[in-house]
């Protein structure tokens, strides 16, 4: 959906037409202006020509129906992937991409290996949520949560991401509560600082994945520019300003960052830097050929050590492995070129 073009058209009409058109997109969740029979035929024809509502996507559904991966083809032929996760308690979470590709080259991530194509526009980000909102509407359900944990680094496309979030949250938009929207970052400090001054009460997650700079720089080259201590200083300031609890994401890689000693170092580091307003989300690694996942007993021990230090720990539920919709599994899985990599969300 080209939001800029839609707004340009609507500027030429009285405000009530804008409200009607936005309602068609975000309340009725129509896939075509033709369905909006409350609008004059000539107006519908202009909108259909200049700003079609159709979203071209190839869908892949897991056998248990809990995960749906969509490969969306954008106007310029670039394809992005987005994932719907249906939780047992009825929550529906959409994991969105903020960029086509990624420039940060994290060593465990297939998206990083494929390089950067371009930033997504706000309309292309919102379109990912709209696609699943339309699908869920047919079942009498709606999107409850949105997580920016797909392809790309949201804070390297800050303005478009925030514009998309405002539209998701806005009462003229998708009406998704700010507290149900999460941004995950590798620790782009400027983005953390900007977010701490935003009026919306969004959730922040930090992809840490290592207890020290040496290991983190090996896994995530961006750590050379944004080392752990500087990131955690920015997060501490974010917590002080917002009083919001931050999620620290930690991907467990066998014999690399999953030892009891690593858990001890992580616990000390986080408690010293962040105090109490955070929790750790342990992520199971979906093998992509480079590393091995930690065995379950190692994960349990890692969790036990963190909890023994008074740290709250959650474990990320695994969605969509068989349709390659889980963390690190999506690249190259689609017939559409430019296939992307999406991570799953926490429970």
Residues of span 181-210 touching ligand SF4 by CB under 6 A:
186
Strands 99-101 and 116-119: antiparallel
**Integer Cα distance of 175 and 167 in angstroms:** 8
| CA nearest neighbour of 343 among 176, 186, 111, 117 | 111
Measured from each CB, the residue nearest to ligand SF4 is 112
Among 124, 153, 249, 258, binds ligand SF4 (CB under 6 A): 153
- Comparison of 79 and 106: residue with beta carbon closer to ligand SF4: 106
To ligand SF4, the closest distance from the beta carbon of 24 in angstroms equals: 33
| CA nearest neighbour of 38 among 22, 52, 24, 53 | 24
To ligand SF4, the closest distance from the beta carbon of 156 in angstroms equals: 9
**Integer Cα distance of 55 and 49 in angstroms:** 14
Q: Which among 51, 81, 109, 124 is annotated as catalytic?
A: 81
Catalytic status, residue 190: no
CA distances from 218 to 180, 250, 284 (A): 33, 15, 19
Q: By CB under 6 A, tell whether 104 contacts ligand SF4.
A: yes
To ligand SF4, the closest distance from the beta carbon of 264 in angstroms equals: 25
- Comparison of 106 and 246: residue with beta carbon closer to ligand SF4: 106
Catalytic status, residue 81: yes
**Integer Cα distance of 246 and 241 in angstroms:** 12
Strands 278-284 and 313-315: parallel
User: Which span (47-55, 145-153, 164-172, 309-317) binds ligand SF4, by CB under 6 A?
Assistant: 145-153
**Integer Cα distance of 335 and 277 in angstroms:** 43
Q: By CB under 6 A, tell whether 173 contacts ligand SF4.
A: no
| Residues contributing to the site for ligand SF4 (CB under 6 A) | 102, 104-106, 109, 111-112, 151-153, 186
């Amino acid at each position: 959906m080209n939001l800029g073009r839609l707004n340009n058209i609507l500027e030429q009409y009285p405000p009530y037409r804008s409200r009607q058109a936005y309602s068609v997109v975000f309340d009725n969740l129509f896939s075509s202006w033709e369905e909006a029979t409350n609008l004059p035929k000539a107006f519908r024809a202009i909108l259909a020509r200049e700003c079609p509502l159709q979203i071209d996507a190839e869908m892949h559904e897991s056998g248990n129906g809990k995960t749906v991966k969509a490969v969306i083809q954008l106007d310029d032929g670039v394809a992005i992937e987005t994932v719907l996760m249906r939780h047992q308690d009825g929550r529906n979470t959409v994991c969105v991409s903020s960029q086509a590709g990624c420039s940060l080259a994290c060593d465990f991530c297939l998206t990083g290996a494929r390089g950067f194509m371009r930033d997504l526009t706000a309309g292309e980000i919102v379109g990912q949520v709209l696609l699943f909102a339309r699908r869920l509407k047919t079942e009498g359900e709606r999107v409850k949560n949105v997580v920016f944990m797909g392809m790309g680094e949201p804070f390297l496309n800050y303005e478009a991401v925030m514009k998309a979030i405002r539209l998701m949250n806005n009462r003229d938009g998708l009406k998704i509560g700010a507290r149900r929207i999460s941004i995950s970052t590798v620790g782009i400090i400027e983005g953390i600082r900007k977010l701490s001054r935003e009026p919306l009460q969004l959730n922040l997650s930090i992809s840490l994945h290592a207890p020290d700079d040496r290991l983190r720089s090996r896994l995530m080259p961006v750590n050379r520019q944004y080392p752990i201590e500087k990131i955690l200083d920015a997060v501490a300031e974010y917590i002080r300003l917002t009083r919001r609890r931050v999620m620290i994401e930690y991907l467990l890689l066998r014999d690399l960052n999953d030892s009891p000693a690593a858990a001890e170092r992580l616990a000390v580091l986080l408690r010293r830097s962040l105090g109490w307003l955070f929790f750790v989300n342990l992520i199971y690694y979906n093998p992509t050929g480079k590393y091995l996942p930690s065995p379950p007993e190692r994960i349990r021990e890692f969790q036990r050590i963190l909890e023994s230090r008074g740290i709250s720990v959650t474990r990320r539920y695994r969605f969509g492995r068989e349709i390659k919709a889980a963390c690190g599994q999506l690249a190259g899985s689609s017939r559409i070129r430019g296939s992307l990599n999406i991570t799953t969300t926490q429970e």
